[in-house]
Amino acid sequence: MTIDFTKDWRNVALLAVLLAAAFFLPSWLRFLLQTALAGGLVALGVMIQMRAGLVSFGQGLYYCIGGYAVGLLAAKAGVAEATLVIAAAVISSVVIALILGPLLSRYREIFFAMLTLAVSMILYGLLVKAATLGSTDGFNVPPVTFFGFLPAQEARGDWTYVLTALLVVVACFLIARYLASGAGALLEAVAENELRLEYLGSSARQAVYIVYVIAAAVSGLGGALAAIATGHVDPEMANWTTSGGFVFVALLAGRGSAIAPVLGFFLLELVRTYALDIAPNAWQLILGAVMLAVILLLPDGLWSLVRRAPK
């Protein structure tokens, strides 16, 4: 591990180029990429907490809050302006994280994992019971407008892809800046020797609180973009199986770069898609085998391949 993220902006720049080129992919594949980017932001939220040694098994909470914020505004309140609904998604995630943070930042290891999971399952339970919000079915989200302009049906995919790609690049850039900052460096210290950090005059709890809130913001953005991409939200977004998927991606992708979880999520979606195609009844077997292979052969995740590559 290292605290040196000073050059990670280059990886983000590379991501920007890749996403620009991906505009010309076949539409099914580009849509797969778009939803993977949204989910990848949540995995990124999980990853930055992992840098502090904390595994959030309830990051779906903010994925769901972000998605429902967009859905409620667009479908129930009639506010479909993209900038507004996305801002609302991020702000509501941050507000909830600011409230929960002081409690959660006191816990570590399995206790942190279980508490994050418990909180997300509370939201899941509430949404499943909420008949007006479609219970387990959720509800559909009308298309968003861009400064009052509603693109034609066949162009909507282009618009939302560009929106997603832009915001994902900006989010990755900001997270890379955070990881390269003093506050980002302290995460590694929290993971390795919290007591020493306290004796050096710094608060481990403050460092955890900050990463928790930042992770919530980026995950809420991911949820918002997912709702916009798929035009649908349901309580499954907050379910623990969804959160577990984000943890898996974060583990698989590695912690070496802000873009690792985002790319990792897309790779996983590709494997899933092709596995489903090849073996409709045993695709989970293929997915499981891939995960096992990565964990056994690359304990620091796929990104360690990039780190090891000759410069």
Total interface residues for another protein by CB under 8 A = 29
Which among 212, 213, 75, 185 has a CA at the least distance from the CA of 132?
75
Task: Pick from 26, 78, 148, 201 the residue near another protein by CB under 8 A.
Answer: 201
Contacting range for another protein; rule: CB under 8 A; set: 31-39, 107-115, 192-200, 271-279: 192-200
Task: Pick from 19, 117, 168, 210 the residue near another protein by CB under 8 A.
Answer: 210
Instruction: Please report how close the Cβ of residue 206 comes to another protein at its closest, in angstroms.
Output: 8
Name the amino acid, one letter, at 181: S
Name the amino acid, one letter, at 121: M
Is 13 or 185 the residue whose CB approaches another protein more closely? 185
The CA R_g of the chain, rounded to the nearest whole Å, is 19
d(CA 11, CA 34): 19
Instruction: Please report how close the Cβ of residue 166 comes to another protein at its closest, in angstroms.
Output: 23
Q: Is residue 308 close enough to count as binding another protein by CB under 8 A? A: no
Residue 146 is classified by DSSP as B
Is 124 or 209 the residue whose CB approaches another protein more closely? 209
Query: Residues, the chain, total?
Result: 311
Q: Is residue 284 close enough to count as binding another protein by CB under 8 A? A: no
Strand partners, 139: 233
- Is the Cβ–Cβ distance between 194 and 208 less than 8 Å? no
Q: Is residue 178 close enough to count as binding another protein by CB under 8 A? A: yes
Q: Is residue 192 close enough to count as binding another protein by CB under 8 A? A: yes
Task: Pick from 20, 198, 288, 297 the residue near another protein by CB under 8 A.
Answer: 198
Give the Å distances, CA to CA, from 163 to 15, 146, 264: 15, 10, 20
Give the Å distances, CA to CA, from 286 to 148, 274, 279, 281, 292: 45, 10, 8, 10, 10
Contacting range for another protein; rule: CB under 8 A; set: 145-153, 184-192, 218-226, 262-270: 184-192
Q: Is residue 199 close enough to count as binding another protein by CB under 8 A? A: yes
Site mask for another protein (CB under 8 A), range 121-160, x = bound: ----------------------------------------
Is 104 or 176 the residue whose CB approaches another protein more closely? 176
Task: Pick from 35, 135, 203, 304 the residue near another protein by CB under 8 A.
Answer: 203
Instruction: Please report how close the Cβ of residue 40 comes to another protein at its closest, in angstroms.
Output: 23
- Is the Cβ–Cβ distance between 58 and 81 less than 8 Å? no
Residues 96-125 that bind another protein (CB under 8 A): none
Q: Which residues of 212-243 are buried (b: 16+ CB within 10 A; e: fewer)?
A: bbbbbbbbbbbbbbbbbbbbbbbbbbbbbebb
Instruction: Please report how close the Cβ of residue 59 comes to another protein at its closest, in angstroms.
Output: 21
Q: Is residue 189 close enough to count as binding another protein by CB under 8 A? A: yes
Task: Pick from 76, 193, 282, 297 the residue near another protein by CB under 8 A.
Answer: 193
Cα–Cα–Cα angle for 62, 276, 224, rounded to 5 degrees: 20
Residues in CB range of 217: below 8 A, 6 or more apart? 90, 93, 94, 97
Q: Site residues (CB under 8 A) for another protein?
A: 1-6, 178, 180-186, 188-189, 192-193, 195-203, 206, 210
